[in-house]
Amino acid sequence: MKKLYIIILSAFFAWTGCKHEKVYNQIVKDPKTGEDILRGYVNMEGLKSDIFKEAYIRGLNEYMPNDSVVQECKKLMDGVSFRIIMGTWCSDSQEEVPRFFQVLYTAEADILNPEIMEIICVDSNKEAGDVSIKKYDIEKVPTFIVYRKGKEIGRITERFNNRPETDLLEILKKQ
């Protein structure tokens, strides 16, 4: 009986552990264009894949953030995390997301850490497959949501008002 209890308990923990595991970098056909896009959770490896690679590399190479502003951001990034809702098909995402990453790289943010950076890609219908984004109230992409200790402190929608580092600094200054 004790063995059966251990087996059932082990199976339960294995099942619940698998249930919450995120699947990354799913490639699907966009419902409107039929082109390959990323949808759902995406990590940096996915953004460097062929679907987004050209925009990612171009944005990183072309954008030079203001270092003094980035250093001010860096001082305020304790307990800060980010969620980006974007579309690999979207021209604003192709331009703004790599610029934002260049700022975070320059600030030495640990954006490879999924506790600090979460990226969710949507299709042209603004749906993310199995990932529900309704609670984020997304109207346009990209949307950059900034959190401090798990609480949203600001967001940037579609395009930066100024420069990515300047807009980020304005948000980070909020308490």
Predicted local confidence at residue 1, as pLDDT: 53
Tell me the mean pLDDT in the region 53-61: 93
Predicted local confidence at residue 80, as pLDDT: 97
Tell me the mean pLDDT in the region 11-30: 73
Element (H, E) at 95: helix 91-106
pLDDT value at 16 more than 90: no
This prediction's pTM: 0.87
Predicted local confidence at residue 2, as pLDDT: 52
List, as own/partner pairs, every contact residues 68-76 make where C-beta atoms lie below 8 angstroms and the sequence separation is at least 24, other chains included: 69/163, 69/165, 69/166, 69/169, 70/103, 70/106, 70/107, 70/165, 71/107, 72/169, 73/103, 73/107, 73/165, 73/168, 73/169, 73/172, 74/107, 74/108, 74/109, 76/169, 76/172, 76/173
Tell me the mean pLDDT in the region 40-49: 95
pLDDT tens readout for residues 103-145:
999 999 999 999 999 999 999 999 999 999 999 999 999 999 9
With bands split at pLDDT 50, 70 and 90, how would you rate the model's confidence at 174? confident
With bands split at pLDDT 50, 70 and 90, how would you rate the model's confidence at 175? low
* Domains defined for the chain, CATH in brackets: 23-172 (3.40.30.10)
Tell me the mean pLDDT in the region 25-51: 95
**Stated length of the chain:** 175
Cis peptide before 164 (omega within 30 of 0): no
